[in-house]
């Protein structure tokens, strides 16, 4: 059988090619429900697949969203999809785009020229940046941007750029208050708050909880390791080997917390008997660790879905019905990794 064309579907349905196009492109307000059902049935029966390349040349709309999945540093050899946070966010974004008839194009970047190449050469309808570090680059070549942009967790409010984040300060405040409520006063902060606004906000929440409860801040309780599994292992080992009286550690990522538990075990600690640990993100893996990880949920599904929906709304209408900068709430999820000292 020869390749089925849009013209063939129109002839078999007894409608114009424009009507079929309206059905395919979701412009259902222009077509009756009966005709929509008839056209869709014929498309299914004959296996008609629209030529997206041809449509993008004609309409200047590609139905492709570019997604930048890596921070602006590191090596090209890193497999960023091994990061469970990226995988969780990406899964929800892709599902939401697919439901709305869009495709995804992924790219890792390490410098400004990578982004410039993306903007000039990718035929995308919009771009989503998973890391807030992108903002300094976006601002420097904002005049080149010809499509809507969305970003996560940026502390800046930039007009025309969709920015969805969560209340990072409150998240670490909640985690720290929780371990304090279980009798812990010697609490480590595992992450490096320098030169990272997101981590800095979480660090401020940690400090605020200590101060509110009359617990002195101790610089030696800061373990400035990267929020990765490997960084967590090193931090856990360091805590176990130190002469500090640390009984609990709050982290800024679940994968870091899991590493801390493993590193502390390697150092001879029992978790949570000798070291209580909290995470941040509430990734599915938290339910399968031993012990199950108490963490801060930033509702990743909802966060990714809302950002994606706002981007699509801006692509389709030129504006958004809600503010372009949204800060979502967080909550503590209690499991088994914090023990009471009372």
Which DSSP string corresponds to 120-134? HH---SEEEESSTTH
pTM of the shown model: 0.82
Q: Residue 247 and residue 206: Cα distance in Å, rounded?
A: 15
Range of the domain at 227: 168-298
CATH number assigned to the domain comprising residue 276: 3.40.50.2300
Position 207 in a domain: yes
Position 341 in a domain: no
Q: Read out DSSP for 11-28?
A: HHHTS-HHHHHHHHTT-G
Q: Minimum mean pLDDT among 36-45, 58-67, 95-104: which range? A: 58-67
Residues 75 and 109 in one domain: yes
Select the more confidently predicted residue: 60 or 205: 205
Q: pLDDT tens across 173-205, in order? A: 999 999 999 999 999 999 999 988 899 999 999
Cβ(310)–Cβ(320) under 8 Å? Answer: yes
Residues 44 and 117 in one domain: no
Residues 154 and 179 in one domain: no
Write the burial class of residue 207 (CB in 10 Å: 0-12 exposed, 13-18 middle, 19+ buried).
Answer: middle
Position 339 in a domain: no
**Percentage of the chain exceeding pLDDT 90:** 56
Exposed e or buried b per residue across 58-74, where buried means at least 16 C-beta atoms within 10 angstroms of its C-beta: eeeebbbbbbbbbbbee
Number of domains composing the chain:
3
Mean of all residue pLDDT scores within the chain: 88
Residues 291 and 189 in one domain: yes
Instruction: For residue 83, name the pLDDT band (cuts at 50, 70, 90).
Output: confident
Position 25 in a domain: yes
Q: Is the pLDDT of residue 20 over 70?
A: yes
Residues 263 and 292 in one domain: yes
Cβ(148)–Cβ(314) under 8 Å? Answer: yes
């Amino acid at each position: 059988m020869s390749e089925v064309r849009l013209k063939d579907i129109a002839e078999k349905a007894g409608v114009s090619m424009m009507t079929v196009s309206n059905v395919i492109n979701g412009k259902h307000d222009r077509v009756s429900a009966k005709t929509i059902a008839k056209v869709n049935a014929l498309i299914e029966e004959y296996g008609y697949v629209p030529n997206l390349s041809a449509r993008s040349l004609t309409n200047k709309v590609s139905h492709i969203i570019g997604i930048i999945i890596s921070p602006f540093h590191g090596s090209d050899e890193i497999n960023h999809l091994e990061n469970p946070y990226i995988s969780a966010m990406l899964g929800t974004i892709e599902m939401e785009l697919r439901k709305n008839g869009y495709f995804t194009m992924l790219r890792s970047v390490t410098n400004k020229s990578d982004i410039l190449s993306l903007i000039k050469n990718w035929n995308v309808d919009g771009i989503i940046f998973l890391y807030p570090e992108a903002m300094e680059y976006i601002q420097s070549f904002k005049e080149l941007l010809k499509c809507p942009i969305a970003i996560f967790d940026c502390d800046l409010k930039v007009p025309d750029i969709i920015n969805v984040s969560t209340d990072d300060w409150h998240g670490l405040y909640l985690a720290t208050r929780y371990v304090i409520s279980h009798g812990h006063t010697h609490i480590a902060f595992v992450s490096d708050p320098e030169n990272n606004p997101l981590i800095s906000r979480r660090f401020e929440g940690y400090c605020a909880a200590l101060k509110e409860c009359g617990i002195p801040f101790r610089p030696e309780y800061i373990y400035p390791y990267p929020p990765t599994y490997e960084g967590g292992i090193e931090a856990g080992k360091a805590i176990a080997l130190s002469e500090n009286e640390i009984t609990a550690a709050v982290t800024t990522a679940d994968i870091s917390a899991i590493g801390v538990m493993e590193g502390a075990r390697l150092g001879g600690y029992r978790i949570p008997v000798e070291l209580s640990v909290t995470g941040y993100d509430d990734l599915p893996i938290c339910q399968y660790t031993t012990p199950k990880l108490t963490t801060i949920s930033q509702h990743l599904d909802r966060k990714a879905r809302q950002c994606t929906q706002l981007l699509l709304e801006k692509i389709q209408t030129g504006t958004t019905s809600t503010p372009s900068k949204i800060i979502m709430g967080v909550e503590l999820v209690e499991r088994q990794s914090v023990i009471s000292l009372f």
